[in-house]
């Protein structure tokens, strides 16, 4: 099932309390961590909470989520693949 990257971006902005940025300004392929949005390890953990809360996806080991956290696009694909139907 496809999920809207626009909606996902809004959720990321809200959950990570990013300021002065709109979903439109986030590129689907831009790296989330390091450069890009400048997210860090605490944000990764906050994204884990978001995935469970909003999409029912439980990540036990943060390493498991790492490839999915590369960009909004990879995150959307990960959610589409893992989301309980």
Write out the residues near other proteins by the rule CB under 8 A: 16-20, 38, 40-43, 45-46, 48-53, 56, 61-62
CB of 29 to other proteins, least distance (A): 20
CB of 73 to other proteins, least distance (A): 22
Spatial neighbors of 47 by CB under 8 A, at least 6 apart, are 12, 15, 16, 65, 69, 75
Taking the least distance from each CB to other proteins, the nearer of 51 and 75 is: 51
Quote the DSSP letter at residue 24.
G
Strand partners, 4: none
CB of 47 to other proteins, least distance (A): 10
């Amino acid at each position: 099932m496809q999920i809207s990257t626009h909606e996902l971006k809004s959720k990321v902005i809200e959950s990570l309390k990013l300021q002065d940025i709109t979903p439109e300004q986030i590129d689907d392929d831009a790296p989330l961590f390091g450069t890009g949005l400048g997210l860090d390890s605490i944000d990764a953990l906050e994204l884990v909470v978001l995935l469970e809360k909003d999409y029912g996806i439980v990540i036990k080991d943060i390493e498991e989520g790492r490839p999915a956290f590369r960009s909004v696009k990879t995150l959307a694909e990960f959610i589409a693949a893992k989301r309980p139907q």
